[in-house]
Each structure stands twice: as structure tokens, then as C-alpha cells.
Amino acid sequence: MTMSPSKLTRIRAFPYSIAQQKCRNRACFLQKSGSPTVVSVLPCKSMAQLTEPDGTRHPQPSEFLRYLQQRMKSTGPISIAEYMKECLTNPYYGYYTRKEPFGKSGDFITSPEVCQIFGELIGLWCVNEWSILGGPKPFQIIELGPGTGTLAYDLLRVLKSIPQTSGQVSLHLVEKSRMLAKIQAEKLRVKLDFVDEHNSFQQGLSQIGSVPVFWYQRIEDVPRAPSFIVANEFFDALPIHKLQKTSSGLREVLVDITEDKSDLRFVIAHAETAVVRVVPPKSRERDHLEFSLEAATVLDDVSSRVSTDGGSALIIDYGHEGTKADTLRGFHKHQVVEPLAAPGETDLTTDVDFSLMKHLLEDKALCFGPITQSKFLYNMAFEQRFNALLRACRSSEEEERLAKACDLLINPEKMGGQFFAFSIVGYARSKLGPVTGGF
């Protein structure tokens, strides 16, 4: 397949060297002194006057900064996980709660937004896994962190084209942001009903194939049934704890207010915090470690579902296999920014540590990958779908747009090489086929 090079680079998976260069004033580079130990002081620019292009004024970020400072004054430094949770999903000030960060005018772009083929092939992956399992009925698709709902939209179109799934499938979306849940419902053409069952906070029937759709805050609330679980750029948004080896052992890096009480800074906890005790033994040897308790909880739930209820999970994200240590970064208007700058106004993200995921899943489920997004999509017959869409183009401009988008998705120098696919299945599933589709 020949595709013209794309100039699109508005993705969050910036090469690590760039992120690190821009954020070199970071926790692991300075030594300790005092208690709690000061590691690094970062500027925290208030963007109080920020007004959206349509004139909307949001709660003032400086108000949020004051709220965080107040919290730290009364309770002391907070974990980076707590800081991320506040910044991303605080019900009033959180980045995902208030903003629609996707696309050209937002802060970043994700694969489903780049081209419909991405969501379609993930839909096919689900159907393939479902049929390998003997087509259990009823069954459910669970999507973690659906963003604007574009992936789910393309996936539902695929399900609609497969008559055997009709009336047998339901879609369960795990989303913290009520604002994004509303956007997802519009995208999926869901007429919302009164919520009267399960633990969902929103539900209704999609006009795409008449599939019932449910929304939840947490995966634990999704009912148990054979499940095909997909998560694109979800795990990178989950809060992490950062641990660092010191002469007294592994210690947690925390967020505190500066001595003059005007800014935020990183500090090292002088005593062992609870999270240090739950890190998997194999990872304790590292000098620096980013560990997400929330990701561990989600993985526990996912492995239990695929093992006991039947099903498979597909995670696509940027990440590494235990080779990186300090990947927390902020994104604002397609630029890498300091993670403590402008809390609530910037997206915060980390690289997913796939080796840690494998440790956490040991003895619980089978894992495949990580393999590059490029390899996964090619294995899922990307080229055939691309050619079919190319034939359907009505002008050379349309052809060029499609080629550029596909190049961004699969080129190993672009998203194709920066994102990785990882799959989790129950041990029983391995008897039905050696690997999951695409791997």
C-alpha cells in the first residue's frame, strides 16, 4: 500500500526523549534535603483568564489551584495519583469533566478520530473473538474510556452488519465524565431512558442496530456476562503513584505546595507510604517506578471476567516494557507541558508499563503482546479495508485524506509504532485457538 506522508502529529504519544527534554526539571533529577524531602520545584502557571473560542468561561483554574493548595495546607502533600485524579476527573474542575479535549481545536487526537478503519477493525476483533468462543448469547461489549464515542460508533456499525449478533449484544461504556457521556450518547444516537436497572448512570437504545447502551463510573458496576472489552488510550489516563529508590528504600514522590505557598512542587515522602507495600515484588528492584493502583484494580476485574464469564480484552496504548521511569507529562494545545503547570487545564498522561501489567496478570489470565499498533492493524486485514474505502472515494482529495489518515495510523514512525496492542484472555480460551485475532 502506498500512502503519502502525513503532517498530522497531534498525538499524545510524543517520543519519550522529547517529553523528557521538555520536562527535565522533574522529580528524579534532584536529591533530597529535609522532611518531607524537596525533590524539585516546578512553576505552576495559573491560566485564570482562559476563555474558550465560543466565549464560554469555565471555573477559574486559579480557583482550582487555590482548592489544591488549601487541601495540601490542611492535610499535607498528596500522592501524584491523587493529584492526577483531581486534575482529570474532579467533578467540578477536572479536565475530562469540563472539556472536550479531542481533535484539531482540542489538545490531542486519538486513533478512532483519525480514521474509521481503526474502530471497524476493533469491532471485527470483538466479533472474531466472540465466534471463536462459540458465539455465546447474550454477550456484551465493554469499552473503557470511550472519549467522544467514535470507536463505539464504528464498532456498532460493524455489529449491525453481522445478523447473528442482532438482539444478542449490549454495549457498556465506562466513563467518569458526565459531559463526555452526553457527547457519546449523541454520537451513538441513543435516546436516553429513565435509569432503572443495573448500576448505570445513563442508558438507552442506540439507533445503530437497536443495541442497548449503558454507562457506568466503574467497570466493577458492569453486569457479569461473556464480555469483549476494549480500551484505547484509557490506561494512560489512570492516576499513577511514583516511587523512587532512596538510601532508606523505596519512597513515594508526592505533590506539595512550595514554601512561599504560591506554587506546587514534587517532594519525597520521608516514611514508607501504603502503596510501596503493594508493588509487585519483581518491580521493587527498579530505581524509579510508576504504579497505578487504579489500573491494577481494573486489570483484576478484566482478568476475572475473561476467566470466569468468558471473553477477551484488547488494550491499545502507548507504553514500554519496564524500560522507562519518568513519563508523567501534561498536554495542552498539542504541546508537552509540565505536569504541575495549570492543573485542570492540561491533559495528564503517562506511558503504560506493559511489563508491570504482565506481572499483575500472572497466574490470573493469558496475555498476548504488546505488539505495535501497525502490526495489529495489518494482522486484522487493514489493507483490504483501506482498499475498499479507497475504491469508494469520490474525488482525489478524498483519496488523499484517507491515505494521510491511514498513514498516521499504521506508519511505524507515527502512531503505528508509538502505540501497542495487548490482549488478555482466560486460560480456557487458549484451548480454542493459539492466540487472539491480530496477534
6 vs 89, beta carbon nearer ligand SAM = 89
Residue 89 CB, nearest approach to ligand SAM (Å): 6
Contact between 234 and ligand SAM per CB under 6 A: yes
Residue 88 binds ligand SAM, judged by CB under 6 A:
yes
**Exposure pattern of 377-390 as b/e (b: 16+ CB <10 Å)?**
bbbbebeebbeebe
Q: Return the range that interacts with ligand SAM (CB under 6 A); candidates 22-30, 231-239, 331-339, 365-373.
A: 231-239
175 touches ligand SAM (CB under 6 A): yes
Q: Does 200 bind ligand SAM (CB under 6 A)?
A: no
Q: How far apart are CB 113 and ligand SAM at their closest, in Å?
A: 6
Cβ of residue 270: shortest distance to ligand SAM, in angstroms?
29
* Residue 176 in the binding site for ligand SAM (CB under 6 A): yes
Q: Which is nearer to ligand SAM, 310 or 344 (CB)?
A: 344
Owner of C-alpha cell 457479569: 224
The one among 14, 96, 214, 228 contacting ligand SAM by CB under 6 A: 96
Task: Select the span of 21-29, 106-114, 200-208, 240-248 touching ligand SAM (CB under 6 A).
Answer: 106-114
The residue (of 118 and 251) whose beta carbon lies closer to ligand SAM is 118
Measure the CA–CA gap between 324 and 193, rounded to whole angstroms: 45
Q: Any contact of residue 119 with ligand SAM (CB under 6 A)?
A: no
Q: Is 314 in the site for ligand SAM (CB under 6 A)?
A: no
Q: For residues 415 and 117, what is the distance between their CA atoms, to the nearest angstrom?
A: 14
Looking at the Cβ atoms of 110 and 206, the one nearer to ligand SAM is 110
Q: Which amino acid is at 366?
A: L
Which of these segments, 50-58, 171-179, 363-371, 373-381, binds ligand SAM (CB under 6 A)?
171-179
CB of 248 to ligand SAM, least distance (A): 32
For position 147 contacting ligand SAM by CB under 6 A, the verdict is yes
Stretch that binds ligand SAM, among 129-137, 173-181, 350-358, 389-397 (CB under 6 A): 173-181
Applying CB under 6 A, does 44 fall inside the site for ligand SAM?
A: no
The residue with cell 511489563 is: 355
Q: 238-267: which residues touch ligand SAM (CB under 6 A)? A: 238
CB of 137 to ligand SAM, least distance (A): 27
Rank residues 36 and 319 by Cβ distance to ligand SAM and give the closer one. 319
C-alpha count within 13 angstroms, C-beta hemisphere, residue 151: 29
Q: Which of 77, 106, 123, 145 binds ligand SAM (CB under 6 A)?
A: 145
Are 141 and 155 within 8 A, CB to CB?
yes
| Residue 343, C-alpha cell as written in the block | 492543573
| Residue of 159, 174, 314, 360 interacting with ligand SAM (CB under 6 A) | 174
Q: How far is the CB of 25 from ligand SAM (least distance, A)?
A: 25
Question: Could you give the angle at which helices 382-392 and 116-132 cross, rounded to 10 degrees?
Answer: 130
Exactly one of 121, 180, 269, 295 binds ligand SAM (CB under 6 A); that residue is 180
Q: Which is nearer to ligand SAM, 83 or 96 (CB)?
A: 96
Does residue 374 belong to the site contacting ligand SAM (CB under 6 A)? no
Q: Does 19 bind ligand SAM (CB under 6 A)?
A: no
Q: Give yes or no for residue 232 binding ligand SAM (CB under 6 A).
A: yes
CB of 60 to ligand SAM, least distance (A): 22
User: Where along the sequence are the contacts to ligand SAM (CB under 6 A)?
Assistant: 88-89, 96, 110, 112-113, 145-147, 151, 174-177, 180, 232-234, 237-238
